Each structure stands twice: as C-alpha cells, then as structure tokens.
Structure 1
Amino acid sequence: METQEIIAESPKRPEHGFGPLQIPLFRDRWIASTVSNLGTWMQDTAGTWLMTVLSAGSPLLIALMQTAASLPVLLLGLLAGATADIFERRRLLIFWQSWMLVTVGLLTVLTFAGVVGPYQLLALTFLMNIGAAMNNPAWQAIVPELVPREQIPDAVSLNSASNNLARALGPALGGLMVAAFVKASTGAGWVFALNSASFAAVIWVLWRWKRKPLFKSALPAERIAGSIRSGLRYLRFAPELQASLIRAFLFTFFVSAVWALLAAVAARELKQGAMGYGLLNGALGAGAVVGALLLPRIRARFNADAILRVTSVAYIVILLVLAWVPIPAVAIAVLLVGGFCWTSTMSTLNTSVQLVSPAWVQARALGAYLTVFQGGLALGSAVWGYVAEHSSVPVAMTASAIGLAVTLPFALRFHILQGKLPDLGPYVWRRPARELVIQPELEDGPVRIVIEYFVAPENYAEFTRLIHKMENVRLRTGAIRWGVFRDAANPERMEETFVMESWLDHLRARERMTAADAKVRDRLWELHKGTAPPRVEHQLYVKEVTP
C-alpha cells in the first residue's frame, strides 16, 4: 500500500478547518466538551484565587494549585492509556466523568460550609484531576472513531478551540463570580457548583453514543501491567513518537511559569484583583481560540518544525515582558500572543502523536504524551514557584525564559511530522497463520521465530537496510530480542530471528502489524531468491519434563 502525504500538507484539505463539525456525533461531543471546559476553567480561576485568599498570597501554595492539577497525569498517564486500550472506552469515560462530578460536588459543599482551607482545596483539586488524568487518554483516543483520518488535524484543532474558547470566557466569568460576592469563598462555591453540573452534559452524550471501535482484538485482553509494558516498549522503538514527547516536555517545563505564576503577577506586579486575574487568563484563552481557528491555514503554509520554532521564540519574549513590564495593557497584549502560540504548539504536538501511533496503542501513546506534558507543567510549576518564593516573581519568569532559550537548539534536533506519513492502518493478512504439528497453548513460550532468506549479492545492501528497519517493527510490536545473521559458509543465506515471551504475544504481534510495516516486509520477501517464499520456523522453548 502506498504511503500517504502528511495530512497537514495535503493541498486538497480545506483550510477552514470546520469539516468535523458537520459530523453529528463529533458535533455533539464538541458542544458537551465545550460546556464542561467552560466550567473547568471557571473553577481553575476561582480555585486559584480562593487559594490566593486562603494562603495570604503565598506564591508556593498558588503554584502548587497548578501542580495539583498536573501531578495526577504525571503519576497516572500510562495507567490511563493502558486502561483506555483495554476496557470499553465509553463506559470508562462515563465512570471518570462521574468521578469528577462527585469530587467537585464535595468541594462545593465544603466551600459553602466555610470549612475549606488551603490544604483541603489542594487535596480536592488533586482528586478531581485524578479523574481528568484517567479520562483524557480515552477522550482523545476516540477522535479517530468519530472523524475520518484526514480530518484528525482539524478535529484536534477544534478540540483545542473548545478548550481555549472556554479558557477565554471561563477565567473572566470565574473571576467575575468571585468578585461579585463579598466573600471569595461564596463566589468560588457557586463556580464549583456550576462546574459540577457541567459534567452532566458530557455524561449524557456518552450515554447516548453507540460506539464502533476501529480496532478490536480477537485475542484475550491484555492485563494492565502487560499493557503498560507493551506501551512503553512501543515508545522505546518509535523515534517519531519520542520526538513529540521530548519537544512537549521541554516546552511545557519552561512555559509553565506563565500558568503557575500568573496569579502572583496579577496580584503583586500588576496590582490587580480577582477580576483582573480573570481577564489576564481570559486573554490567554482568547489568543488560543484565534490560534485554533487560524491553525489549519498556518499548517497549509508552514511545516510543524517551523511552527514550533516560532512559538518557542515568542514565549521567550513573552516571559521577559511579563517579568519586567508591569503594565496591565501590555500584559494582556502579550498574553493574547501567548495563547495563540500555546494552542499552536499543543495542537501540533497532539496531532503528531495521533498520526504516528497505530490504533492498537493510540491511547497508551496519548497517555505517555499527557504524562510528559503535564509532568513538565507540574515539575516546572513547582520549580518556578519555589524560585519566586525565595527570590521574586520577575526573577523566576526570567530564569524560565533563559532556560527555554538555552534548550531551544537541542529541541530543534527532534523533528515533527516530516516527510511522508506511513499508513498505520492494520495490515490484512492474506494467508492464515501457519499450521503447526504442535498446537501451542496461548501461554506457551518463549517462542523464537526464524525466517530464512537467500539474497543475491547485488541486493545485499538494500536487504540490510530494510531488515534493520524490521528490527523496530518486531521490537515495538512485542519481540523481546531480535537479530539477523549471515551464514559464513553460504554468504547468500541470512536468518532473521526474534523472540516473543509467549505464543499469545506472537499472535498479538501479527494483529499489530500495520500496512506500512507489511510494505517493508513484503519488499524483503521480494529480495529473497527463488519462487518459494522465505522459510519460517516457530520454535517453542523446551522445558524440562519430569517422568
């Protein structure tokens, strides 16, 4: 099967980016998600400002609100991805949406009762974001089930627009509600109540969804530990996915200073109250919405590397301006640009993860991405909050800008969505698995597979290039060892050998082969001399048999 051009570069794609909204199921999900995101961003602002009041403006405790929001993803991202690839995603999403509804409901009650303190607020924020962490990989992984593959970049951008539209309105509305009451806790309590109710819209859409998964294994489901291991194994041997994760961590770690310290900037440097903080946060959201709407046109003209390079440089300037120019109008202007750059970066990286991950491991890949992304936010927020606590907010913002500038040349070495995108659809086998004299049980193993090739001298260079491409294919789909050997007595004879932990793992590897992987393997078989295909042996580990 021929490879296809990267969707973001295709001249046939419309540049308006609204195509996915013509699909009713995606549209319903998008509207429900926007309502929920609005409530979440209102709570983010109200909760952070409530912490500012409860902690007497402590930069460290304020920054720890961002850590409480990000740390669950760092701890649970891989587990969340594994469960989303194992369990039925619709039921899983309903459970975790209900978890968040109940948790925020409890926070609402405690806030109205006047018994919530800084540490209770941190704890319940942490609990709510456990639900968000477990929900997000499955939530993002269902996008390919709702829209055609060529519309995935637009769907990701629209999801980003949903989040950032809520970010534009939510902080201002949250700040307004807090400021509308004499006591900050009363306003925050009403914000928490609205957010709790907003999860009901998402639960209703999920309840009505008749899901048709893209990939459904005929084999027994993996156990959670095994699923995590196979996801990590795939990541280890998928350089395109690694590049996206490295870029995500480097960017979020340094740029987290904006999210972690914006409330402190508003209160200490700009002398603003809750409403002013909400407007600053809303400026980030408004810029992000504009970025999401313009991103399809930007993608059509610039490649992913160029977009990420420009947004990184822009954030260096933004951090320095926020640190040393204490003028509210200027801060709002640079935050508009910051929101634009943020959504452009995050949408580009998220799209790259989805487009380089096959369906069988997509939620785990997204879980790894969210772990790295939120890990950068959590670690960065704690670091920059500590620096601000022991020096000043401008010093912390400046340090983050310098760090981003110093690491940028290293980040640019990792390229995103370059060249042609391989077809990662599952390969349809044209022949059944080989009939064996011994019929292995699923748990039998280890299993060694040996493939014998005879290659003419004029094809030797091409064969070696392709066979070493197969190394990553074998290892990321389940092999624990791989090698290729040349017969010293017959230089035309080659043996590829790889080991699976069990017969079940071997069968799973057959399911996980993509059309692009099969194209490489088929070309190797074409280089084999003779009319018969290469000889394949399946060898089972011999265990001691006691009489």
Structure 2
Amino acid sequence: MTSAALGSDHPNTSASPWEPLRARAFRALWIASFVSNVGAWMQTVGAQWFLLDQHAGSTLVALVQSATSLPVFLLTLPAGVLAEFTNRRRMLLAVQSVQVLVTALLCLLTFGGHLTPTVLLLMTFLLGCGSAVQMPAYQALVPTLVPAGQVGAAASLSSLSVNLARAVGPAVAGLLVSRLGVGGLFALNGLTFAVFVVALVSARAAPGTGVRSGAHPRFVQGLQAGGRYVRHSPFVRRAVLRLVVFLVPANVLWALLPLVAQRRLGLGSAGYGLLLTAAGAGAVVGALLMPRLARALDPTARLVWSGAVFGVGMAVLGLGRSVPLAVVTLLPVGTAWIVVVAGLNSAVQASLPPWVRARALSIYQVVLFSATAASAAAWGLVAQRFGLPQAFCAAAVLLAAGSVSARWWRLREHPADAREVVDYWPSLEVGPVPAGAPGEPVVVEVRYEVAPDRWAQFLAAAGAVEESRRRTGALSWGLYRCVDEPGVLLEQFTVADWEDHLAQHRERLTRSDRQDQERLRALASRVDPARHLVHVPVR
C-alpha cells in the first residue's frame, strides 16, 4: 500500500501513488465518484442552511448528519452481502438512478415552496439509503479495476476521493448557497448523480464487476462470515476502535459548525462558506502531506498528533468569536481530519482479502456512519442544553483523552502478505463431497504431539491459529489436552458445511494464515493428518 494509507504495509509496485489513474475505468469512476460525493456534501450543507433559515434549534440542525448516516447502520450490511454476489455495476446503476429521481422530487418541493423541515429530513434519509446501498459495491469494485500491484494505491486514492469531497463539497456549497439558494444546491447534487451514471455506463467492459465465482453462501451466513472476519482480524478491529475514539468527539465540528457561523461569529451563508473553504483547504494540504507524514511518523503517532491538533482546534472554535481566528484554526483541523479518516479507511480497504472485502467494508462503514449519526444527535442535544462553547470544549477534552489512550490502544501492525490468498491443503487430498455432507456442519480435528519444553510456545502460537480459523469460517474453535496421552493436544473447529470448508482452504487463507499454521506445526514433534467429521442427523 502507498504511504498514504495509515498503518498499512501492503506492498505496492506502483512507481507513483497516482499510477492507478492511468487505468481508464478506474480513472472515470474515481472522477465521477469524487463529483458525486461533492454533490452529496453540497446537499448536506443546503439542508443545514435551510433549517437555519427556518430558525430550527441545535438538535434539528445536527439531525441532518444523523439522517444522512443512519441508513448506513440499517442497510450497509445486507448491501455488502449483495455486492459480493450480484453484478456490482448494475447494482450501482440502479441505485444512482433512484437517487436522481429522489433529488428531482426534492427540487420540485423546494422551488415550489412546499419543503418543510420534516420533509427535508425524510428526503435526506432516502438519499442516505441510496448511499448506504451503493457504498460496499463501489468499494469492492475499486480493487478489481487496477493491476494487483496497484491495489494499495487505488484504495488510498479511493479513500482520498471520499475525504477530499467531504472537505471540498461543503466549501463549494457554502460559496454557492448565497448565489443559487438551497434549491440550486439540491439541483447540482442531482446532476452529480447523473454524472456517475454516465461513468458507469461507459465502464461497461470494466473487469471484476460480475458475480464472484465459487460457492454463494446464504444471505444470513454471508453476513455472519463478514462479522467473524472483522471480529477476529486484530488489525481491522483496532483500526475500527481508533476510528470511533476519534470520530465521536471530532464530529462536533460538522454537526454544529453552521450554528457557530451564525450564532457565535454572526456570519451569513457566504461567511459559512469561507469557514468550510478553510477546512477544505486544510484537508487538501493534509492529503498532499500524507506521504511525508507516513515517512516521518509511525501510524499511531499520526493518530495521536492529529487528535491533539483537532482537539485544540475545537477549543479555539468553541471559545473564540473572531472570524480570522476561526479561519486560521480550521486549516490544521482540516489537515488532521483527513490524516485520520482517510488514512484509516484506505488502510482497512487495502488490507482485506477479496472473498470478504465488500462485507467487511460494510461493517467498517456501519461503524463509521453509526458513530457519525449518534454523535451528531448527541452534540446537538449537548449544545441545546449547555451551549455551543461547552459542547466544543467537551469534544476537545475527549479528543485529548483519545490521543492519550493510544498508549494502550496502539494501531496494530498489518502484515504485508495478509491480503494475498493462497491455496493451502496440508495433509488433505481434495475429493468429492462426502455422502450426507451437503448443508451439514463439519468438524475438523488435528492431533499434535508437543514436547514439554515447547508447550508454552505452542499455546502462544495456537492463539494466532485460532484467529485465523475463526476469521476464515470457523463457527467454533477449541484446543484440548488429551488426558490419556500426556503431551498430546487436539485442535478442533467447526465450519458450516463441507463446501464452506473447501472455500476456507481454496479462497480464504492468506499467506499470513499459512505462516501461522506452519509456525504451529513446526513446534510439534508430530502432526497427524486432519480428520473431518460430518454431522449425522438422528431425527
């Protein structure tokens, strides 16, 4: 992976981090995605400013963020499963077309003077549903559009696009809202959806957009497999934790900045646009600095310093009443935001193996947007109850605490070969499906003989193998000491059925998983061939 990806050592053979943009299909979709994401943030700013014009309270303004993010919690997980086993390009075309229609209806209501805060929040929620459904399909599609050696760079560019749009979109909207009005922003958002549709149609021959080969698990089983992978991947698990620790307090900025602009600084829509432009400019600077920061600081240090900078910025914004001071403060704040969010997102995206990528990314996005939705509503309530300065200062304290917590919750190392899938069958010949096996659970049992002086080392290595088994499909796992035979240990794990066990070896094991298993086997004086027990129903 490129150095722009926080915490990832994924190899990248690209001579330049921009190399994936040479691929026509990737370049077209990357540009269209950026334009579409800019439109989505223009939509959010327009909605917030409409509510301010309606003299809405702090909670209602903050609920725009919640209405946008809540659909991710509700829909992204099932959408991730669909993205694994349906034509991703067609799925994206259908969703974008629906979003064009929803935006057209919103424009008619706005220009006709029939838009109310309740209707606006409902329409915002519907657009959020479209974004939630398309997100896993797009993120899983990206790595298939470039050569294998450029996957890391492509993931970084994709993440960079999303987060630059988050910075640039509000800035552009703030500048245009005074000229075009809220309805004009909504109309521009609709046009960006149309741009994405055109890019998808032109990418008809792009590789990797079809249904994945191999066994198709049942819907619920597919969801569970994605959950198991995330739960038993130390790198993804810690990255998600660090994301939440930063995002919950940091989201006070995006939830309440319109109120700061209007009520604390006395600015109108143009002044609000100036604040957003400053944050956007800082984000662009952060994107350009990320390769240098990756060389100068380790992944955890980048998180610590970014959290500290963002925390100081929140305190200054909460207590200050100077427009120039606020503009200057938002520059490093924008830089800190993109270093954390874009870095973590691209690192996770590049770390995932193909078989579970869309589902695992869905879970990651659920956490991200759930934290966004919940924290936006919470900060709105805090501001309404205690005031804007108190809300921003409380966020600053939480950000400082989050930076300190890195002493105990460091971002884990990510093996460079954790994503490369290998076909690994130790002591097992691949044969036909055993009689009675289809649909029935399979128990796999491996017998180890371990010398007393290697017992502690073996148990330590077994922990990594347990994570590997569970990550790749084991429903349960256990290591048992044989009472009748001292020095003998039995590893036993259960998978859903025989087909799932075949997939576990052929499609899911990475080079890192193989190394964990070989390390364990090397510590044993003898390893018997694995036994496979198929469940037999008795009634």
Alpha-carbon separation, structure 2, partners of 1:232 and 1:379: 21
Q: Classify the secondary structure of the residue corresponding to 1:498.
A: strand
Tell me, yes or no, if the aligned pair for 2:481 and 2:488 is still in contact at 8 Å.
Answer: yes
Shift of residue 542 of structure 1?
A: 2.5
Check conservation: 1:253, 1:377, Cα contact below 8 A. Answer: yes
8 Å CA contact retained: 2:255, 2:379:
yes
Q: Cα distance 1:412–1:351, how it changes in 2: closer, same or farther (>3 A)?
A: farther
Inter-CA distance 85–411: structure 2 relative to 1 (3 Å threshold): farther
Aligned identity (percent) is 36
Which of residues 402, 406, 421 is equivalent to 2:397? 402
Alpha-carbon distance between aligned partners in 2 of 1:480 and 1:12, rounded to the nearest angstrom = 33
**Paired letter, 1:491:** P
Q: Does 1:271 align with 2:270?
A: no
CA distance in 1, matches of 2:163, 2:538: 62
Q: Secondary structure at the match of 1:178?
A: helix
Change (3 A) 1:120 1:460: same
Alignment of 1:405-484 (within 5 A): 405-418=400-413, 420-429=415-424, 433-435=429-431, 438-443=434-439, 445-457=440-452, 459-484=454-479
Residues 475 and 282 (structure 1), Cα distance of their counterparts in 2 relative to 1, 3 Å cut: same
- The CA distance in 2 between the partners of 1:230 and 1:519, in whole Å, is 22
1:335 and 2:330 aligned:
yes
The answer to whether the 8 A contact 1:97-1:203 is kept is yes
Q: Secondary structure at the match of 2:486?
A: coil
SS of structure 2 residue aligned to 1:421: coil
Tell me if structure 1 keeps the 8 A contact 2:174–2:272.
yes
Q: CA deviation at 1:13?
A: 7.2
Q: Distance in 2 between matches of 1:450 and 1:467?
A: 14
Structure 2 unmatched ranges of 5 or more? none
**Cα displacement (A) at 1:239:** 2.0
Quote how far apart the aligned CAs of 1:520 are: 2.2
Task: Structure 1: state its 5+ residue gaps.
Answer: 182-186
Label 1:15 to 1:8 Cα distance change in 2 as closer, same or farther (>3 A): farther
Q: Conserved in 2, the CA contact under 8 Å of 1:320 and 1:398? A: yes
Check the 8 A contact 2:79/2:136 in 1, yes or no: yes
Give the aligned partner of residue 353 of structure 2: 358
Q: Which residue of 2 aligns with 1:27?
A: 27
TM-score, with length taken from structure 2 = 0.91
Quick check: 211-220 or 75-84, which moved more? Answer: 211-220
Residue matched to 1:184: none
Offset, 1:121: 0.6
Aligned to 2:134: 135
Please state how far the C-alpha of 1:242 moved relative to its aligned partner: 1.1
1:536 to 521, 524, 530: 530
Distance in 2 separating the partners of 1:111 and 1:449? 62
Cα contact 1:164–1:286 (8 A) shared by 2:
no
Q: CA, structure 1 residues 509+161, in 2 after alignment: closer, same or farther (shift >3 Å)?
A: closer
Q: Is the 8 A contact 2:87 2:209 kept in 1?
A: no
265-274 vs 474-483, which moves further:
474-483
Give the counterpart letter for 2:310 in structure 1.
Y
Larger displacement relative to structure 2 (516-525 or 391-400): 516-525
CA-CA distance at 1:267 after TM superposition: 0.3
How far off its partner does 1:64 sit?
0.7
Paired AA for residue 108 in structure 1: C
- 1:318 pairs with 2:313: yes
* Amino acid across the alignment from 2:245: L
Separation (CA, whole Å) in 1 of partners of 2:407 and 2:98: 40
**Aligned counterparts of 2:11 and 2:422: Cα–Cα separation in 1:** 27
Residue 452 of structure 1 aligns to a residue in which SS? Answer: strand
Secondary structure of 2:251's aligned partner: helix
Contact 1:480/1:498 (CA < 8 Å) preserved in 2?
A: yes
Change in CA separation of 1:435 and 1:179 when aligned onto 2, cut-off 3 Å: closer
RMSD: 2.7
Alpha-carbon deviation of 1:60?
1.3
User: 2-side partners of 1:97 and 1:447: how far apart?
Assistant: 42
Q: Report what 1:63 is aligned to.
A: 62
Gap change, CA 1:544 and 1:109, over 3 Å in 2: same
Aligned 8 A contact 2:159 2:342 in 1: yes
Report the Cα distance in structure 1 between the residues aligned to 2:257 and 2:145, rounded to whole angstroms: 36
What does the per-residue CA deviation read over 1:442-471, in whole Å, with 9 as the maximum and x for residues that have no partner? 21x222111223344555444333333211
State the SS of the aligned residue for 1:180.
helix
* Counterpart AA for 1:543: P
List per-residue Cα deviations over 1:283-330 (Å, max 9, x = no partner).
Answer: 211111111122122212222111110010011101100011111111
Q: Call closer, same or farther: CA 1:194–1:222 in 2, change over 3 Å.
A: same
Task: Say whether the 8 Å CA contact 1:215–1:360 is kept in structure 2.
Answer: no
Structure 1-normalised TM-score? 0.90
Residues 1:192 and 2:186 aligned together? yes
Deviations 1:215-253 (A, max 9, x none): 976543122222111111222222221111111112111
Give 1:30's aligned amino acid.
Answer: W
1:248 maps to 243
Does structure 2 retain, via aligned residues, the 8 Å contact 1:17–1:293?
Answer: no
Aligned to 1:45: 45
Aligned to 2:299: 304
Residues 506-539 of structure 1 deviation map (CA, whole Å, 9 limit, x = unaligned)? 2332232222212222344445556xx7222111
Could you say if the C-alpha distance between residues 16 and 301 of structure 1 is closer, same or farther in structure 2, counting changes exceeding 3 Å?
A: farther
**Does the 8 Å contact 2:103/2:187 carry over to 1?**
yes
Cα distance in 2, alignment partners of residues 190 and 127 from structure 1: 19
Q: Which stretch has the larger CA shift, 8-17 or 91-100?
A: 8-17
Q: Which amino acid aligns with 2:142?
A: V
Aligned-pair CA distance for 1:163? 3.9
Show the counterpart of 1:205.
199
* CA apart distance, 1:34: 2.3
> Please, which of 484, 489, 492 is the counterpart of residue 494 of structure 1?
489
Q: Distance in 2 between matches of 1:213 and 1:440?
A: 34
Q: Distance in 1 between the 2:87 and 2:159 partners?
A: 25
Displacement after TM superposition at 1:27 (Å): 1.5
Aligned pair count?
532
Amino acid at match of 1:144: P
Q: Which residue of structure 2 lines up, in the alignment, with residue 125 of structure 1?
A: 124
Report the alpha carbon displacement of residue 350 of structure 1 after superposing the two structures with TM: 0.7
Q: Relative to structure 2, which stretch is displaced further, 248-257 or 153-162?
A: 153-162
Worse-matched range after superposition: 249-258 or 514-523 = 514-523
Q: Distance in 2 between matches of 1:94 and 1:329?
A: 44
Alpha-carbon distance in 1 for matches of 2:503, 2:87: 19
Q: Give 1:7 shift.
A: 8.6
Output the CA distance in 1 between the equivalents of 2:82 and 2:211.
Answer: 14
1:361-392 deviation line (CA, Å, top 9, x unaligned): 11122111111111111111111111111221
Determine helix, strand or coil for the equivalent of 2:309: helix
The change in CA–CA distance for 1:379 and 1:270 in structure 2 (over 3 A counts) is: same
- Cα contact 1:152–1:351 (8 A) shared by 2: no
1:398-431 Cα distance to aligned partner (Å, 9 max, x none): 1111222234333542222526433322212468
Conserved in 1, the CA contact under 8 Å of 2:8 and 2:416?
Answer: no
SS in 2 for 1:398: helix
Mapped contact 1:172–1:275 kept (Cα < 8 A): no
| Equivalent residue number for residue 503 of structure 1 | 498
Q: Is 1:94 aligned with 2:93?
A: yes
Of 326, 345, 349, which residue of structure 1 is paired with 2:344? 349
